[in-house]
Structure 1
């Protein structure tokens, strides 16, 4: 039996989270994880699920559960830092007796909940990737070559030392915030390094399944749905930033 009803992939941008979500979904037993709770996208999800404009956050959470579960009842979703605060703040009025008790709120809404923490050792490479994605609007490329994640800006990527430095600082702040949150609530997440995910995506996915008490169905392949985006331009920006 699964050891969790739900799990959240906790991350910062450009750590391979979209790749990991696709790998987990491909197993057929680890939910259909998406960034369901990203605040700017809530209205799009609500429309897709046919929720009325008067729907409360409890209804939204239940609709997310229905959409993000596989047949074995396991639910998955992604949370960036900042989204966590938004989710627990919105769930507080739904379950007022648990307001301010983050983990208990999540478990009340999503059942037995576990956490996967995805981070990247090379923060400079992460910042370069983040800046480039923001400039171009291309956040991922699937195996067919189609890109997505935001509206394309039509802008050519351009080196920006100040922008890279600001993102390096922001990544550090968000990583520290995740660590404080885990420590505050006694959470022991399953930790995943981007570098390990990049080197062995199927192996990392199998480890997460083990953490969740799940077995890969016999004959089922773990399939990546997205391509690696880093190229010579990323490497050139990294080298230039280090030299400067």
Structure 2
């Protein structure tokens, strides 16, 4: 039996969350983690699940997400960015006004025994450069065209912007600090994953997450569905920014 009913991959953009979620989904025992609760994606998921356009209650949406995101062993997974958490909590609070308590109580009311996986990246400059480039080009992932998180054709050209990088460095620090404070406030000890470890050995990190969740890891294969996007442009921008500093 699984040690959890659900888990949330808690992250800031460009920490490898899509890579990790794809690896976990490929195991067949860790749910089908996606960014189900990202506000811009909600209409896309709702259409897939046959919910009436603009007429569903948040509780109905959550139940549909649970049905879609569970594997046969009953485990559900989802990806949550810091900016998404408030939307989830507000929606669940409106569904359960009778429930006293904090954010964690609402999440566990919706998802059952819930564990948390926290992703972070040591090289925050590389993270900021990757984030800026994704925003400029609209290319957030390199995956199959049928995926909800698949990027369409490029929407712009990459352009070195030192002020934009500095702004994102500030945002990364702010959001990572907010996750740390949220875990501390609710007495949660998440399973922590470094992007650098994930990139170096995806299979080992994936099995480590399964172990932390109380899921079988022995003999489990994990196949990535995303390809690395960083290239010589990222390397150049990082070098230019370090030289500027």
TM over 0.5: same fold? yes
Alignment check: 8 A CA contact 1:57 1:94 kept: yes
Equivalent position SS for 2:229: coil
RMSD over equivalenced CA pairs, Å: 1.7
Q: Cα deviations across residues 59-108 of structure 1 (Å, max 9, x unaligned)? A: 10000000000000000000000111110011001111225511111111
Alignment check: 8 A CA contact 1:25 1:31 kept: yes
TM-score by length of 1: 0.94
Name the count of aligned residue pairs: 241
- Could you list the runs of 5+ residues in structure 1 that have no partner in the other structure? none
Q: 1:107 to 1:131 in 2, by over 3 A?
A: same
> How do 1:180-195 residues align onto structure 2 when only pairs under 5 Å count?
180-195=181-196
Alignment partner of 1:229 is 2:235: no
> What is the Cα deviation at residue 152 of structure 1?
3.3
Alignment check: 8 A CA contact 2:144 2:150 kept: no
Alignment check: 8 A CA contact 1:92 1:99 kept: no
TM-score by length of 2: 0.94
Alignment check: 8 A CA contact 1:92 1:100 kept: no
Q: Cα deviations across residues 170-196 of structure 1 (Å, max 9, x unaligned)? A: 000000000010000001000000000
Q: 1:125 to 1:79 in 2, by over 3 A?
A: same
Q: Cα deviations across residues 134-181 of structure 1 (Å, max 9, x unaligned)? A: 11111111389x9x6444344221100000000000000000000010
- Could you list the runs of 5+ residues in structure 2 that have no partner in the other structure? none
Distance 2:72 2:218 in 1: 13
Distance 2:70 2:8 in 1: 13
Distance 2:225 2:192 in 1: 22
Equivalent position SS for 1:115: strand
Distance 1:100 1:153 in 2: 44
Alignment check: 8 A CA contact 1:93 1:99 kept: no
Aligned counterpart, 1:124: 125
Runs of 4+ in 1 over 2 A off after TM superposition: 97-100, 148-154
